[in-house]
Amino acid sequence: MASEPVARAVAEEVARWGAMRQTGVSLRYMMEFGARPTERTLLLAAQFLHKELPIRIARRALDLESLPFGLSSKPAILKVRDWYVDSFRDIRSFPEVRNQEDELAFTQMIKMIRVRHTNVVPTIALGVQQLKKDLGGPKAFPPGIDEIHQFLDRFYMSRIGIRMLIGQHVALHDPDPEPGVIGLINTKMSPMAVARIASEDARAICMREYGSAPDVDIYGDPDFTFPYVTPHLHLMIFELVKNSLRAVQERYMNSDKLAPPVRIIVADGAEDVTIKISDEGGGIPRSGLSRIFTYLYSTAENPPDLDEHNEGVTMAGYGYGIPISRLYARYFGGDLQIISMEGYGTDAYLHLSRLGDSEEPLP
- The answer for 127, left when phi > 0, alpha when psi is -120 to 50, beta otherwise, is alpha
Residue 87: its pLDDT value, please? 98
Residue 302 has pLDDT above 60, yes or no: no
Instruction: State pLDDT tens for residues 203-243.
Output: 999 999 999 999 999 999 999 999 999 999 999 999 999 99
| Mean pLDDT of the 29-40 span | 90
Instruction: State pLDDT tens for residues 74-128.
Output: 999 999 999 999 999 999 999 999 999 999 999 999 999 999 999 999 899 889 9
Residue 307 has pLDDT above 50, yes or no: no
Residue 304: its pLDDT value, please? 52
Residue type, 213: A
Residue 322 has pLDDT above 60, yes or no: yes
| CB 57 within 8 Å of CB 83 | no
Q: How far apart are CA 166 and CA 115, in angstroms?
A: 11
Q: How far apart are CA 5 and CA 350, in angstroms?
A: 50
| CB 232 within 8 Å of CB 331 | yes
Name the residue among 4, 17, 21, 2 with its Cα closest to residue 91.
17
Contacts with 296 (C-beta within 8 Å, 6 or more apart), sequence order = 128, 132, 138, 141, 145, 146, 148, 149
pLDDT band at 363 (very low <50, low <70, confident <90, very high): confident
User: All domains of the chain, ordered by start, with CATH?
Assistant: 4-179 (1.20.140.20), 185-353 (3.30.565.10)
Residue 316 has pLDDT above 60, yes or no: no
| CB 304 within 8 Å of CB 317 | yes
Starting at the earlier edge strand, list the strands of the sheet with 335-341: 216-219, 262-268, 272-279, 345-353, 335-341
| CB 239 within 8 Å of CB 321 | yes
Q: Could you tell me the pTM of the whole model?
A: 0.91
Question: 17-26, 258-267, 347-356: which range is least confident on average?
Answer: 347-356
Residue 355: its pLDDT value, please? 72
Residue 252 has pLDDT above 60, yes or no: yes
DSSP class per residue in 313-341 = HHHHTTT-HHHHHHHHHHHTT-EEEEEEE
| CB 10 within 8 Å of CB 89 | yes
User: Dihedral (C-alpha) 281, 282, 283, 286: value to the nearest 10 degrees?
Assistant: -170
Q: Does residue 147 sit in helix, strand or coil?
A: helix
